[in-house]
Structures are given as C-alpha cells and as structure tokens.
Amino acid sequence: MTLGCKWRYFRIIVILLVLFILLLGSFLNTQVSLLVPLFSGQESFHPVTNIMFLKTHKTASSTVMNILYRFTEKRNLTVALPAGQLFHLGYPWLFLTKYVEGFKDLNGTFNIMCNHLRFNPTEVEKVMPNNTFYFSILRNPVAQLESAFVYYKGYVPAFQKTKSLNEFLASPLKYYNETLSIKNIYARNNMWFDFGYDNNRRGEGYVRDAIREIQWRFQLILISDYFDESMVLLRNTLRWELDDVVYFKLNSRSEKSIQNLTRENRERVKEWCALDWELYRHFNRTFWQKLRAVVGLKRLAREVALLRERQRELMDVCIQDGRPKNKTQIKDANLKPYQSGEADILGYNLKQHLDNETLARCQRMVMPEIQYMAHLYSQQFPTNPPKKIRLQ
Ligand SMILES: Nc1ncnc2c1ncn2[C@@H]1O[C@H](COP(=O)(O)OS(=O)(=O)O)[C@@H](OP(=O)(O)O)[C@H]1O
C-alpha cells in the first residue's frame, strides 16, 4: 500500500470515529451534558474545603446544606454530624463539642459543619480547623416569621392560641411570654438567637456590638431573598465550580399553606422582630457591597443566567413533571420531607429509568436534610447504629 493510500484510510477512520462520537452524544443527549460540570477546571484550583455554615431557621438553609453535603461527598470530606440519635447539634442550647459524633477521635479532621446549632464560637473553634471559612444566611424577617409561624404552629406556645399570624401580630404580647418556654425562640428574633445572642434584649449599643462581632467572625452572610445571587457570590468566594452551587429548592411550602399579611402587619414584624430587622438591614447592605466588589454586576447577571439555565437542564433530567410534589404524592420514603405544623412541605419525585450515575446525582439533589444527614452518618460511622428517621 502506498503512503498516499494509507493516509486516505487514516482520514476515513478519523471521520468515522468523529461521526460515531457525535451520534453517541445525541443518543445519550442531556445525560452526557449532565456529567460535564460547568466551568470545570477553570475555578477548581484550591477550592475552599474547610467550612462552617451557621444554619439559621426558615432562611433556605436546608437548600444550602444540601449543597454542602453534596460538596462533602464529591470531595470526600468529613462532616461534624450530630451525635447518636440527635438530629441537631444541640439546638436550641448553645453549641458544645459533645454534640458532635466522634469529636474526640476525629478531632482535627473535620472539614464541614452545617447542621442546626446555636452559635457558640469558642466551642465551634475546638471542632473546626483554624483556616475555616464561616458563613451564614439571613432572610427578610417578615417572610421568615411567616414561614416559622406556619411551620411551628403546634410547637411554639406563643403561636398555639392564635389562628393566624395577622391575629398574633395585632397584639403579640398577649400570646408571647419569653420566660414560659425555650420553644418561644421561634416567635421573636429567631435569627438573632441562632447567632448566639439574646433575642429579647434591647439597646442600641448591644445591637451595634453584636452586629460588629458577627461581621468579624463571619466572612460572608448570604441573603435568601436573593438566593441565586448568593450562590454566585458563594461560588466566587470559595473558588468552587458553578455546578457545585446548582440546586433544587428544598423545604418549600405549597401555596395553600402560605399566609398573607396585611400591609400594617408587615410593618409590625419590623418592630416585633427589631433585632432581626437590624441584622437583616445591615447584612443586606454588606451583601450587595461584596457582590459588586467580588463579582461585579455584569458578571453577576451572566452567572445567575447560567445557574438558572443549568438548574432548568437538571430539572429536565431529574424531576418528574418538572415540579415539586406534596407528601401524599411522593413515592420514595427516602425523598419525603419532614412535615411540621400547618406547613405542607414539598419534595420531589424523580423520573424513572435514569442510569445509575444520573440517578445517584439526582437523588442527592432532592434528598431532604434528615435523610441526607442519616446517609452521611452511616457512611462516616458504619459500625454505629443508624439514625432512626421520623418524618412527622
Ligand atoms: N433557593 C431558595 N430560594 C428562596 N427560598 C428558598 C430556597 N430554598 C428554600 N427556600 C425557602 O426557605 C424556607 C425553608 O427554610 P429552611 O430550609 O432554612 O427551614 S428549616 O429551618 O431548616 O426548617 C422555605 O420558605 P417558606 O416556603 O416560606 O416556608 C423555602 O421555600
């Protein structure tokens, strides 16, 4: 065979190979693109892996936690999980190291801490390495209190005797007694309480000092009302890939369990939860300052659009009917979210016939926090009795 002839054969084989790969790609369609992370390689140099997330209540914190759990698995990291049969790290009591499973044996190796706890910096610092990145999330207190009211309706004494949040806000002190029960923390300045401060105290100096201290201890405070913008800022700050912060909304309620507040009562929340309101106002301001400085508004718009596009793409791949479902519609017990109070908490059904790799990825994205925590616990402590899960 002449050299020219060999060269012709070689070119034909290369063309056939390219055609074959293109054909295979179109057959597997989205499932191929699912496995190719956005921005992979570009941002993955030295991503931050030692992270403490203060999981505040009713602030989209379960969605953030799901992101952190997935990152934990992807990078083979160690999480500080609740000990024994606990589901929280001692909440509502101030955090102590004894609430962490295996604290003594694993000390010095924890990367991630993200379960509900009441912040107690000296004890948290005993668990987490010196170079830990601290962050948290806040929500507009009007929406946060409304969400908490419905979720903790039967649990919180201050909420039990009222039909609606409108009724409660008309005269809150008729129902709220700060010394009656620790459970009342959910009824007033709950985010302030989560940061470890007194949710019933007043005073300009006290508020200023507390906010200054939070700013000093936490490198970043996200705002759940701007969740996608928050994810872009988080990704850029931690040098993560965009795919690491793609999410499905978790722990949301159906429309029918949302209460509408009168305009007057929306204003009243700002007085009733004045500490949370100050906290939110301050960190909403610094959030936008950071976004401008770290990301810039042009790149922000581009990355938010990419994030939403990727979310839609994954919705198409993973989620049956492309929307969340209520508890009676969710087939797989492992994907049923915990139900509380009068909230109708939604979850997801996955599409059928997903290949194993895609199924595992989709399952992780929709797995409610209790099941995911139990899964990581069994993985990290295979010889311990598994967590007993209750979903009501
Ligand atoms: N991505 C995103 N963007 C905006 N809002 C979101 C998101 N994910 C969850 N949520 C809303 O957050 C509320 C649940 O908060 P948490 O998960 O922190 O609740 S919990 O304290 O852990 O029970 C809950 O609010 P309500 O629906 O008002 O109750 C969720 O709908």
For 275-300, write each residue's pLDDT tens digit.
999 999 999 999 999 999 999 999 99
Which amino acid, one-letter code, is at 259?
Answer: Q
Separation of 112 CA from ligand 1 center, angstroms?
21
Q: Between vectors from CA 267 to CA 262 and to CA 273, what angle results, nearest 5°?
A: 120
328-345: average pLDDT: 90
Alpha carbon nearest to ligand 1 atom 21, residue: 57
CA separation, residue 192 to residues 161, 208, 291, 350 (Å): 24, 13, 23, 37
At 223 the three-state DSSP class reads strand
Using the atom order of ligand 1, give the atom closest to the CA of residue 252.
31
Q: Establish if 26 belongs to a structural domain.
A: no
25-51: average pLDDT: 59
Alpha carbon nearest to ligand 1 atom 19, residue: 58
Separation of 107 CA from ligand 1 center, angstroms?
32
Give yes or no for residue 41 having a pLDDT over 60.
no
Q: Establish if 161 belongs to a structural domain.
A: no
Q: Between vectors from CA 109 to CA 107 and to CA 111, what angle results, nearest 5°?
A: 120
Tokens of 147: 């969400």
Q: Establish if 259 belongs to a structural domain.
A: no
- pLDDT for 32 equals 42
Q: Are 138 and 191 in contact (CB under 8 A)?
A: yes
Q: Establish if 231 belongs to a structural domain.
A: yes
Q: Establish if 63 belongs to a structural domain.
A: yes
Average pLDDT, the chain: 92
Q: Establish if 16 belongs to a structural domain.
A: no
Pairing outcome for strands 112-113 and 133-138: unpaired
- pLDDT for 1 equals 59
Could you list the residue range(s) of the whole structural domain that residue 302 is in?
51-139+199-252+278-337+350-380
Separation of 58 CA from ligand 1 center, angstroms?
5
Alpha carbon nearest to ligand 1 atom 17, residue: 62
> What tens digit of pLDDT does each residue of 213-253 get?
999 999 999 999 999 999 999 999 999 999 999 999 999 99
What is the interface pTM, i.e. ipTM, of the complex? 0.99
212 HSE (CA, 13 A, CB side): 6
pLDDT band at 44 (very low <50, low <70, confident <90, very high): low
Separation of 25 CA from ligand 1 center, angstroms?
37
Nearest alpha-carbon partner for 98 in 124, 121, 132: 124
- Our count of domains for the chain comes to 1
CA separation, residue 100 to residues 7, 196, 211, 234 (Å): 66, 18, 27, 26
The pick from 68, 88, 145, 147 for probing ligand 1's pocket by mutation, whose C-beta has the most ligand atoms within 8 angstroms, reads 147
Nearest alpha-carbon partner for 48 in 4, 112, 104: 112
Separation of 224 CA from ligand 1 center, angstroms?
8
Residues 363 and 376: their CA atoms lie apart, in Å, by: 14
Q: Establish if 135 belongs to a structural domain.
A: yes
Residues 137 and 118: their CA atoms lie apart, in Å, by: 14
